[in-house]
């Protein structure tokens, strides 16, 4: 069976999993690699979990060995906390592979920069003219480096751009913002370090994000975690976006916060709750947070130059304060 998109395949896998048809999920995840080779690692995770649930332990180890031999790893969080893998904990063969994976994970952590910065040559130096600061959060299952295309235009326009790297790993090259408390601590620490290292105008700080990074940017701004003047979210998605009432309750608790917001999404982006983004724009405006909504024709979820232009419009809108 062919699927129009990987999201369609994922939906089918989830439905089969909820039915408890683990063998069908396993078979489909194996078949899906031929159609979506770029999603091999996510599909391999399905294979490992479903092989474990169907007690096909040799297949679990076969898949793990293939990935580990390629230098690919799954995070210790997944290998230790996944309910599907609970029955393997303590088994010698599993522990051997978990240990190999941990070594590779730690090697990647050492190679990653926790914070990438972009700025115009010679700008924002301590003692010099202050720059506005934009913090840009990458998408879930991505890296800070992956997100740079979205933010470069801001650096070229005179902003100091900081792109934090989440420490929450799923697997090689896939880092997430799922634990909001960890995000709060890490982003706050990065902000304090930036204020010491560069010349920054504290009245001109904006937080932005793509996808789950966008949801996180909105949350950090509304909660007042950082002293920002506003937020920009490109294709925001995540658990809070699935029910806009999450934001209504949050805004009641933070009614006095002075912010401006800018929401952006591509009209062809089917991975995000478009109607909820529209509703959120209305809720924010009703709560006294001036918010613009920009729907970009013909764009999907991934970077396109039009998103860079939208980001500039968002920065100009917020920087009116």
Predicted pLDDT at 321: 58
Identify the sign of the CA torsion 281, 229, 188, 127. positive
Predicted pLDDT at 49: 98
Identify the sign of the CA torsion 65, 67, 70, 72. negative
The vertex-146 CA angle with 311 and 75, nearest 5°, equals 135
**Position of tokens 């929450």?**
168
CA distances for 20 relative to 50, 53, 89, 168, angstroms:
10, 10, 22, 29
Question: Tens-of-pLDDT digits for all 321 residues of the chain?
Answer: 788 888 889 999 999 999 999 999 999 999 999 999 999 999 999 999 999 999 999 999 999 999 999 999 999 999 999 999 999 999 999 999 999 999 999 999 888 889 999 999 899 999 999 999 999 999 999 999 999 999 999 999 999 999 999 999 999 999 999 999 999 999 999 999 999 999 999 999 999 999 999 999 999 999 999 999 999 999 999 999 999 999 998 998 876 678 999 999 999 998 999 999 999 999 999 999 999 999 999 999 999 999 999 999 999 999 985
CA distance linking residue 97 with residue 55, whole number of Å: 17
Predicted pLDDT at 268: 93
């Amino acid at each position: 069976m062919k699927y129009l998109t990987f999201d369609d395949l994922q939906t089918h896998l989830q439905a089969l999993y909820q039915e408890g048809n683990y063998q069908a999920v396993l078979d489909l995840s194996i078949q899906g690699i031929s159609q979506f080779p770029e999603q091999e690692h996510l599909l391999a995770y399905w294979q490992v979990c479903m092989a474990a649930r169907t007690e096909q332990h040799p297949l679990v180890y076969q898949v793990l060995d293939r990935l580990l031999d390629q230098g690919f790893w799954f995070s210790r969080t997944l290998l230790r906390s996944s309910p599907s893998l609970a029955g393997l904990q303590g088994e010698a063969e599993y522990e051997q592979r978990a240990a190999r994976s941990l070594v590779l994970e730690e090697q990647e952590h050492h190679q990653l920069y926790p914070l990438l910065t972009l700025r115009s040559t010679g700008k924002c130096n301590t003692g010099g003219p202050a720059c506005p600061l934009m913090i840009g959060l990458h998408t879930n299952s991505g890296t800070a480096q992956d997100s740079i295309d979205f933010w470069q235009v801001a650096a070229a326009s005179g902003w100091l751009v900081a792109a934090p790297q989440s420490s929450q790993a799923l697997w090689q090259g896939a880092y997430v913002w799922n634990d909001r408390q960890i995000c709060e601590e890490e982003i706050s620490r990065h902000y304090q370090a930036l204020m010491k290292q560069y010349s920054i105008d504290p009245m001109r700080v904006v937080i932005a994000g793509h996808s789950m990074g966008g949801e996180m940017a909105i949350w950090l701004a509304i909660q007042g975690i950082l002293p920002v003047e506003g937020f920009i979210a490109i294709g925001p998605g995540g658990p809070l976006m699935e029910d806009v009432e999450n934001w209504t309750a949050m805004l009641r608790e933070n009614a006095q916060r002075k912010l401006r917001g800018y929401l952006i999404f591509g009209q062809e982006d089917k991975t995000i709750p478009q109607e909820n983004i529209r509703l959120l724009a209305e809720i924010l405006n009703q709560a006294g947070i001036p918010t613009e909504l920009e729907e970009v024709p013909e764009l999907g979820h991934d970077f396109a130059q039009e998103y860079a232009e939208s980001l500039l419009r968002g920065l100009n809108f917020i920087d009116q304060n």
